[in-house]
Structure 1
Amino acid sequence: MTKPGKIAKRESLPSRFDDAIEDFRAEMENMMRPWPLMWRLPHLEEEMRVPLCDMADRGDGYELQIEVPGIDKDKINVHATEDAVEISGEHNEKVEEKKKDYVYNERSSRSFYRKIPVPEEIDPARVVARMNNGILSVDLPKKAPSKKKGNKVQVQ
């Protein structure tokens, strides 16, 4: 027969280990708790937003549509290479209000950058971009397919 004291010690070892693991998990959760709350603040989400993008294959080229509401077209930069399109932009705003007893100044700035790869080579010289109601449309014409020279191979 086994002594009751030894059984109690064996049963308490896993529970002590479980308690230590649970304490460690709780400490990690407490340490990380401020981060998720920060990301849920609406004003931060607006400043950190990456514009949504749709790409469609139109046969002879691709069409990109990027949502950039509130950003003027002269503040948007589009740079095209043969295998990607880089789009960046920024928006700065300053609000100043003067009343009899106080002066109120507020400034905000937001910017974005996206590099969008294209599946086939495009002709950067023929890329066209236009802005309409906060939607940037970029036409990316594909390079003319080169005629590949072939060689007839005789089967032996």
Structure 2
Amino acid sequence: MSSKNVEKKEQESIVKRTGLFEDVGRSIEHEMERFFSRPWPPAFELRLPFGSFPPLPEVRMPLCDVVDKGDRYEANLEVPGIEKEQIDVKATRNSVEVSGEHSEKKEEKRKNYLYNERSYKSFYRKIPVPEEIIPSKIEARVVNGVLNISMPKKTPSKTDEETKVEVK
């Protein structure tokens, strides 16, 4: 075999190996993209013999504002579409838990069809407070889709006096 043939075969072998490495590199890159595009690693996926779980009902955490008024805390939670009878407020000395649910069912019967529609909404929020409150004196009311909760403090703190500061 001539030296040209040997050199040519070596070059072909290098090209084949380089192609192999490129394929392996692309394969690894593809697997890494697949792995990191998931919300959790594949080992944590739950595979059941009968399929996946049905979707859970929507539970949301309502937006909440808490203000320290000195003698009490005031919390405002957004609860649109939920009546006051469907809201549950429980209090301890250090927190208030608010939950509620609302379900609706619509049904329309006509000559050739039956139309059913159901919806379910629920919410839950635990509001911790930095100072001890008096659970028995808490007041709550719903006004225009907003739940207002007044939580009297056990030992009221003084509100800071307002002082005008000159801007230089």
Matches within 5 A, 1:20-59: 20-28=27-35, 47-59=58-70
Larger radius of gyration: 2
User: Matches of 1:109 and 1:132 in 2, distance apart?
Assistant: 22
Question: Structure 1 length normalisation: TM-score?
Answer: 0.71
Offset of 1:15 from its aligned partner?
Answer: 4.6
Q: Is the 8 A contact 2:59 2:124 kept in 1?
A: no
User: Matches of 2:61 and 2:73 in 1, distance apart?
Assistant: 21
In structure 2, the CA distance between the partners of 1:105 and 1:56, relative to structure 1 (3 Å rule), is same
Offset of 1:113 from its aligned partner?
Answer: 1.1
SS at match of 2:141: strand
Aligned to 2:86: 75
Listed as ranges, the gaps of 5+ residues in structure 2 are 1-6, 40-54, 157-168
Paired residue type of 2:151: L
Paired residue type of 2:119: S
Paired residue type of 1:20: S
Offset of 1:105 from its aligned partner?
Answer: 1.1
Aligned to 2:155: 144
1:124 and 2:131 equivalent? Answer: no
Percent identical pairs in the alignment equals: 51
Matched residue pairs, number?
131
Structure having the larger proportion of residues in helix: 1
Question: Structure 2 length normalisation: TM-score?
Answer: 0.66
Offset of 1:106 from its aligned partner?
Answer: 1.4
Q: 1:66 aligns with which of 73, 77, 81?
A: 77
Offset of 1:25 from its aligned partner?
Answer: 2.2
Deviations 1:32-68 (A, max 9, x none): 6xxxxxxxxxxx9x93432110000101110000000
Q: 1:105 aligns with which of 109, 116, 125?
A: 116
In structure 2, the CA distance between the partners of 1:119 and 1:9, relative to structure 1 (3 Å rule), is farther
In structure 2, the CA distance between the partners of 1:103 and 1:84, relative to structure 1 (3 Å rule), is same
In structure 2, the CA distance between the partners of 1:23 and 1:126, relative to structure 1 (3 Å rule), is same
Listed as ranges, the gaps of 5+ residues in structure 1 are 33-43, 146-156
Q: CA RMSD in A?
A: 2.9
Offset of 1:114 from its aligned partner?
Answer: 1.1
